[in-house]
Structure 1
């Protein structure tokens, strides 16, 4: 696969419309929309070919060709990877790590790992905002499979202080600490147990690769915002600095493998299997297994930034033919599901008065380019990260999203 071009941001015509709810009838909307999925002209860096197909659909096509997803090529390559995992894991208690959240993909991946004859260690990053359903799902699946669980719990006051600092900063990435902490925890546990393979349950076919919009995170970004707006030191939070990132990739040689990039996978079939086999329960929507994540997707991003990330999964379903474009667009333009008392819970946990909460929600939005990050460093080292991604030492999605120039969000 050739290296993708640099990321850019949507132009003035997109800025004037924002990601607010549109007419649910896709034929009645004054927006340019992909002819294959439901990404529209407001999506960062989007462009359309002469068939009206967006570059993100073409990116998925390219990745399918590269990885042989769901084809003999992909199955053969993944079989080779499985042989490597088994060989490198000889004599060890565990031969791979699977990160678990209680969600569909990670839960199903643990089942697959056992089916493949692997000896996985499940790892969970607990930011103390888990829903009860997610916690029960984790234990039902792991107990049913006889898989050990390693959990790292961030001290709740410390976790809340980091979340609160991001909320006060006015940027969109209120969940950044969870995403990065989880990624570094996987690397730390792998080093602790001398495990060389981490399996992740992401499927670009089912979810796409989220365009780099208001969803940036790295260790310097988290540290800078927390230093400015936080009130207590980081002691239990696993901060992944640049040096820790490179050490893991270059010296520990921990490989990140995404089996679902190689294999045929249906999220709906996985949900049905998990429910029937383990009594696993669905939690109501993509990423809603955690209450902070639910607040971000259902309240914070739509209300403060006019953004809605449901189009990633819905576009994937339309692209795959699992849902019509008309159905996907209508669901995308219906109000997001919001748990009762979610906003009240958020304010209470973070010690925010109604007045402060409204002030922050109504204040002008800020973006990640206004704070220190490693972004320029990632761009300068793009050739290195391309090689690391090809070797599975960093996720390919990291390379595609973080190692090319991007203009500031509008």
Structure 2
């Protein structure tokens, strides 16, 4: 196959490291055109958005009036989920904060969770994932040589939250998903669906050695269909209904709660910092900052010039990389040399393992056709 000529979007920071990216005659990529044509016209974060949010919150409070908690919020210690918890307090909700400890929390994440729980006076439930099972599954993804080695952690977060909500009668889950910092979604070749249980099981079957007896599992169809239509669980995204400027929000959290900043999106997890800042760009040439910065460019929170300047430099310094490399190896019961050997192995992708991709695509088309899921994200 002929190698594609390199091209950088003239409007954002996305480029042909996404092999499926397309450009118009002005050199503007399909992410940008999707944002201007589909996302922005349907995104209301003004008075209309606030009215919609107040209406939803009113319903949550009424339906949960006889319960200890009227909704549940997954809290990672990152800025998005932290601000959702803060908004819930402002609007008078009584959420249960739900945290999943998968063994990779940074000091900043632990501090932020503690500060918010104390400052907001909310109840916290922490689900601790069995480390031996987590370690085994995590190592299996490394050995699979795929880009998406963060899947075990993401799946644990996702499955634990939704399984707990369904088992304990929660009807509303508030999440930090938002257009303001995520309107440019990462390509599947960079970050495959963490909810594809078939692929997770296949990789574990090939490379794992310890049975997943207690590890939280949940397939995408259980989430999309059973939890939604049988259990009646609704997902609410409050950050899409209010102005959400990441820098201003972080500063507000710092001032009000003593919240601690971290270097970049998702870096509240030490493992995710290694995965996004080193594994992906070094082994595969994928830099997730391109998608993150492009979202900020499109929503007016960062200039393209600043984004490209940041992208010209590594995500974090060599000394920290070396420290994280040793830390990751030790946590996985590997030597640094063994982890280096894995890094040097032949690259694979989600295509090399069993998946539910065809069913996911079909299910998405059906949900969009009947109006259950909006077709506004590329």
TM-score by shorter chain over 0.5: yes
- State how far apart, in whole Å, the 2-side matches of 1:47 and 1:124 are: 38
Structure 1 segments, 4+ long, off by >4 Å, are: none
The verdict on how the C-alpha distance between 1:197 and 1:306 changes in structure 2, with shifts beyond 3 A counting, is same
The verdict on how the C-alpha distance between 1:382 and 1:355 changes in structure 2, with shifts beyond 3 A counting, is same
Select which of 342, 362, 368 maps to 1:386.
Answer: 368
Aligned positions of 1:307-346 closer than 5 A = 307-338=286-317, 339=320, 341-346=323-328
Judge conservation of contact 1:127–1:178 (CA < 8 Å) in 2. yes
Matched position secondary structure for 2:286: coil
TM-superposed CA distance for 1:243, in Å, is 5.5
CA offset digits 1:41-81 (Å, max 9, x no partner): 3324322233432211222232222232x233333332322
- State how far apart, in whole Å, the 2-side matches of 1:220 and 1:183 are: 15
Aligned: 1:123 with 2:98: yes
Aligned: 1:211 with 2:190: no
- Note the residue ranges of structure 1 that are not aligned, 5 or more in a row: 1-9, 15-30, 402-410
Select which of 194, 205, 209 maps to 1:227.
Answer: 205
TM-superposed CA distance for 1:385, in Å, is 3.0
TM-superposed CA distance for 1:400, in Å, is 4.9
Aligned: 1:132 with 2:114: no
- State how far apart, in whole Å, the 2-side matches of 1:378 and 1:73 are: 33
- State how far apart, in whole Å, the 2-side matches of 1:44 and 1:99 are: 33
TM-superposed CA distance for 1:391, in Å, is 4.4
Aligned positions of 1:92-171 closer than 5 A = 92-171=67-146
Query: What residue is the counterpart of 2:4 in the other structure?
Result: 13
Judge conservation of contact 1:60–1:204 (CA < 8 Å) in 2. no
Judge conservation of contact 1:67–1:73 (CA < 8 Å) in 2. no
- State how far apart, in whole Å, the 2-side matches of 1:184 and 1:155 are: 14
CA offset digits 1:26-50 (Å, max 9, x no partner): xxxxx43222211123324322233
Query: What residue is the counterpart of 2:9 in the other structure?
Result: 34
- State how far apart, in whole Å, the 2-side matches of 1:214 and 1:310 are: 11
CA offset digits 1:346-391 (Å, max 9, x no partner): 1111122344322221122001111111111112223433268x54
Aligned positions of 1:293-312 closer than 5 A = 293-312=272-291
- State how far apart, in whole Å, the 2-side matches of 1:320 and 1:120 are: 29
- State how far apart, in whole Å, the 1-side matches of 2:169 and 2:352 are: 39
Select which of 205, 230, 236 maps to 1:257.
Answer: 236
The verdict on how the C-alpha distance between 1:196 and 1:366 changes in structure 2, with shifts beyond 3 A counting, is same
Judge conservation of contact 2:17–2:285 (CA < 8 Å) in 1. no
Matched position secondary structure for 1:164: helix
The verdict on how the C-alpha distance between 1:192 and 1:210 changes in structure 2, with shifts beyond 3 A counting, is same
The verdict on how the C-alpha distance between 1:379 and 1:316 changes in structure 2, with shifts beyond 3 A counting, is closer
The verdict on how the C-alpha distance between 1:256 and 1:44 changes in structure 2, with shifts beyond 3 A counting, is farther
Query: What residue is the counterpart of 2:261 in the other structure?
Result: 282
Paired residues in the alignment total: 370
- State how far apart, in whole Å, the 1-side matches of 2:372 and 2:153 are: 25
- Note the residue ranges of structure 2 that are not aligned, 5 or more in a row: none
Aligned: 1:187 with 2:159: no
Aligned: 1:368 with 2:350: yes
Cα RMSD after superposing both structures: 2.1
